[in-house]
A and B are shown apart, each in its own frame.
Chain A
Amino acid sequence: MKQFVTRRLGYSLLSLLVLSLTIFFFVRVTGDPAALLVEPGASEDDIAAIHHKFGLDKPLWAQYGLFMMSLLRGDFGQSFYYQTPVLDLYFDRLPNSLLLALVAMAFSLAVGIPTGILAAVRVGRFWDSAGKLFALLGLSLPSFFVGLVLILLFSVYLGWLPSSGSGGVLHILMPAFALGWYFAAAHMRLTRSSMLEVLGSEYVKLARLKGLPQSWVIGKHAFKNALIPVVTLAGINLVLMINVAVVVETVFAWPGVGRLLYEGISFRDFPVVQGIVIMGGTMIVVVNLLVDVVYAVIDPRIRLEK
């Protein structure tokens, strides 16, 4: 088990290094941030002064070196635009993103797992077809569209829910639904297919042959096995939800990390973009690691693998 964790940890650090290189060079391809920070018609000297202030006049490799050095000290640099540390900005917004992702995840699991099991147990019948339709809609409707339809229905026509911002319980319902909608369908489909595979297995047949009640056969023998891939997917999806909510957060003006990234890209605020991407990447890597460990705890076969 120790060896397993160590090896996975090594892979994780390697992926992060590659990610930092990629984002550092790609973000610099988008253009010169100084152009957005100065008045129109500013002199060459003013621009050079800004370049010098942010260290943009040094060679790229030196910039990367400095960036990585401070990163190792836990310093993500200062935002060009806000003139405050990136980490402060990030941690200001993170709780909102986390809250949104958790509510969206709870919604997607509460809908996805039971409907997936129902569809698998009643395969080929009404509930299975209904589930398939739901999955099709969930996977094919983009979240900005779902978001706009929700705003139209619940804010404009019915006037029940606020269309943007944060603060109350009511504010989170629509963005969480718009964000969780796609994931509910994904979780439903995976639960269904994984459940179907397990229901056809010999050990489920043996469980039936033992005379166990249907609830044991499905709830104990089938469910736990079918859940393994769903747990993996949900773990990765939670982190995805925090990091891909850019569109939903922008549509609903939800003050999360996603919207901060959107702003960072618009203003060519390199430290902000780099910081958010690296934090996101770290999260994805850490969760992948955790999922692997949880996996090993649930499934005794993985523990012993060399």
Chain B
Amino acid sequence: MAATPNRPLLEIDNLSTHYVSAQGTRVVRAVDDVSLRISAGETLGIVGESGSGKSTLALSILRVLPPAAQIVSGQMWFENEDLVRKTDTEMRHVRGKRIAMILQDPMASLNPLFTIGNQVGEPIRVHEGTRRAAAWRRACDLLKAVRIPSPETRVTQFPHEMSGGMRQRIVGAIGIACEPRLLIADEPTTSLDLTIQAQYLSLLRDLQREHGLALIFITHNLGIVAKMCDQLVVMYAGRVVESGPVSRIFNAPAHPYTKALLNSIPRMTDNRNRLTAIEGQPPDLSSLPRGCSFAARCPAAFDRCHKETPPEFNLEGGRTARCWLASVAMQSGAA
């Protein structure tokens, strides 16, 4: 793995992305005061349940948000440039070239009307000004790189002629087409079956190694996090509730939500008949309760949790947690 430089490749500070309704009366805090960093060659896992803001965070990084959403505050330093302050045209030169993203649904993310070669070659044509024929040859090589058999025929085919696993590898090929520094994969394996999933993950790892990519891996599968990631960010209700190196968090989670997530993984050796689930529902992001947003579901909550929102405490070993208990038990210095 590449040596970590002084400044991380991407450093997000206090980023907030909100969805505002047409009348401006309802504000959904999809991403709220999120900070994270990732260095070159590193893999960062982002976990959290559906609706916790993972995908909005990823789309915020590339600033491809739906019309109703906007970044309201924060900074995103990528290779010493603040992505938040870039113009749309400048941002366009970042997308697909320096930061690429793989979407979660391989069946829907390819355009049904264009050939694979056309779609894989597109970022190369746009970012490097390559001619159609040359881009086509590069597309061929890229398909080979993502281990698609007989790429020469595949480039001439249409998406409906391929299986889900193959399409997702093609989406991966589009991701690495311009050799980006950072690849964001948003639940890229959710719709694939287990064998194909394993193949795809090892493919991503190989690509990462060969190209020195930094990888942000968005998932709700903690097993994949354990296998793939160096660093972990746990999101709940739009906020980062815990972050740090994967092994440390798995050994001793600091936030009760992380603990509950780890407990809810079914184990073969478990003798209990029932699966463990976290009681209750996540809060409505447009009307967050006072205090900690997890307090209502937290078995360890006490008075203060319902009154005051815990800040992000810095713990030892490069970890953070938003929990009053963590501040007492593991804090190395006030945040």
A209 with B94: CB separation less than 8 A: no
B64 with A208: CB separation less than 8 A: yes
- B113 is contacted by which of A206, A213, A298, A304 (Cβ under 8 Å)? A298
Which residues of A have CB within 8 Å of B114? Answer: 220-221
Which residues of A have CB within 8 Å of B171? Answer: 206
B122 with A212: CB separation less than 8 A: yes
B92 with A209: CB separation less than 8 A: no
Per the bound structure, the CA–CA distance linking A240 and B196 in Å amounts to 51
Which residues of A have CB within 8 Å of B144? Answer: none
B113 with A210: CB separation less than 8 A: no
Per the bound structure, the CA–CA distance linking A224 and B111 in Å amounts to 10
B158 within 8 A of A: yes
**A residues 190-223 with Cβ under 8 Å of B?**
201-203, 205-213, 216, 220-221
- B96 is contacted by which of A211, A224, A304 (Cβ under 8 Å)? A211
Interface of A, secondary structure class, is helix
**A residues 201-258 with Cβ under 8 Å of B?**
201-203, 205-213, 216, 220-221, 224-225
B108 with A202: CB separation less than 8 A: yes
A205 with B122: CB separation less than 8 A: no
A123 within 8 A of B: yes
B57 smallest CB distance to A (angstroms): 14
Report the count of interface residues on A (CB-CB < 8 A): 24
Which residues of A have CB within 8 Å of B126? Answer: 210-213, 216
Known contacts A211-B126, A224-B113, A201 near B100 by CB under 8 Å: no
Q: Which residue of B lies closest to A300 (CB)?
A: B158
Max chain B CB contacts within 10 Å: which of A201, A208, A221?
Answer: A208
Report the count of interface residues on B (CB-CB < 8 A): 29
Q: Which residue of A lies closest to B63 (CB)?
A: A208
A299 within 8 A of B: yes
- B112 is contacted by which of A208, A216, A301 (Cβ under 8 Å)? A301
Which residues of B have CB within 8 Å of A203? Answer: 108-112
Which residues of B have CB within 8 Å of A123? Answer: 67
B296 smallest CB distance to A (angstroms): 33
A206 with B174: CB separation less than 8 A: yes
Which residues of A have CB within 8 Å of B22? Answer: 124
Max chain B CB contacts within 10 Å: which of A123, A203, A225, A301?
Answer: A203
**B residues 175-212 with Cβ under 8 Å of A?**
none
B103 with A202: CB separation less than 8 A: yes
Per the bound structure, the CA–CA distance linking A299 and B101 in Å amounts to 27
B96 with A209: CB separation less than 8 A: yes
Binding site for B on A (CB under 8 A): 123-124, 201-203, 205-213, 216, 220-221, 224-225, 298-301, 304
Binding site for A on B (CB under 8 A): 22, 62, 64, 67, 92-97, 100-101, 103, 105, 108-114, 122-123, 126-127, 158, 160, 171, 174
27 A–B contacts from the bound complex (CB under 8 Å): A202-B105, A203-B112, A205-B109, A206-B110, A206-B171, A208-B64, A209-B64, A209-B101, A209-B103, A210-B100, A210-B174, A211-B95, A211-B127, A212-B92, A212-B123, A212-B126, A213-B92, A216-B126, A221-B111, A224-B113, A225-B113, A298-B113, A299-B113, A300-B112, A300-B113, A301-B158, A304-B160
What 3 pairs across the A-B complex have the smallest Cβ distances?
Answer: A211-B96, A211-B95, A202-B108
